[in-house]
Structure 1
């Protein structure tokens, strides 16, 4: 059996950092993930799914410190469904992603048009007892230097790739 989720989307609001009574950090945020669909016409429309994400321990504190509303992020984790009884006595089911790795896909400094596509990522294991397993990769200063030879720069145009270039 496998329960693994990988999402890329934008935060709908700033992450909310809280602490359990035992002092364990937990952060919750919602990721808006585009979903293309066909409306019957020859054009492709987009809708968004709003996925709740939960992070724990050091990863939670890192996300609370560095992620903000509108930022592009990649989340890896597992899907979890939990339930509880609300004040009216009704059973409420909550589906959320428990993240063990979050990558920041945009620079915190978005002015001047030069964006880094991957600022850094932080991962941690919920089983590690208390912390993040490193994984901090920061972008070098060469990414924001305006290098026009960067093959990964996003100029807003579609990328033309032939089937022969794909490895699968």
Structure 2
């Protein structure tokens, strides 16, 4: 069995952060995703897809993603149902995110994230995120860093110099 969804789109509004009764963070947002083909008028239709993010990653997403930001979501499709206040059964289709990648810089007034970053379902960056800085090369000089930025400790974020390593220094 396989249930995997990968989306790239823009947030339609700021994420909404809430906490369960047990204290687990959960954030929800809607991603606007353009369809690949144009309609009969030559325009692209857009799908608005609900996304749910849990735990530490929910807090990170809520803090750094804002309306209009470009993001990639990797997760699974979930269809659930509940009974509303009028007693009607309502079906909800949403993506439960396992990983969220911030694909654009955003402006300094709403988070100050420095380029493309991703978080796993535990809210931490993946260990081998080799291309996390490819979208913002040459754009970091002069950008403001925030003390609460979880990615501020990246020693190579602003470095565009090549590293000179001899083969004798390599462990393999």
- TM, length-normalised to structure 2: 0.69
**Is 1:35 aligned to residue 35 of structure 2?**
yes
Which of the numbers 123, 127, 139 marks the counterpart of 1:132?
A: 123
Which of the numbers 74, 77, 99 marks the counterpart of 1:76?
A: 74
**Is 1:26 aligned to residue 26 of structure 2?**
yes
Cα separation, partners in 2 of 1:145 and 1:98, compared to 1, 3 Å:
closer
Aligned to 1:7: 7
1:135 CA displacement: 2.0
Contact kept? 2:38, 2:45, Cα under 8 Å: no
**Is 1:123 aligned to residue 120 of structure 2?**
yes
Measure, in 1, the Cα distance between the counterparts of 2:123 and 2:137.
27
Aligned residues: 133
1:45 CA displacement: 1.7
Contact kept? 1:36, 1:45, Cα under 8 Å: no
Where structure 2 has 5 or more consecutive residues not aligned to the other structure, the ranges are 142-172
Measure, in 2, the Cα distance between the counterparts of 1:96 and 1:120.
23
Aligned to 1:89: 87
1:123 CA displacement: 1.0
Deviations 1:98-118 (A, max 9, x none): 00100000012379xxxx7x4
Deviations 1:35-62 (A, max 9, x none): 1444446xx3201100000000011000
Measure, in 2, the Cα distance between the counterparts of 1:142 and 1:78.
31
Measure, in 1, the Cα distance between the counterparts of 2:39 and 2:118.
36
Measure, in 2, the Cα distance between the counterparts of 1:143 and 1:76.
27
- TM, length-normalised to structure 1: 0.71
Aligned to 1:143: 138
SS, match of residue 59 in structure 2: helix
Deviations 1:20-43 (A, max 9, x none): 0000000000000001444446xx
Cα separation, partners in 2 of 1:11 and 1:88, compared to 1, 3 Å:
same
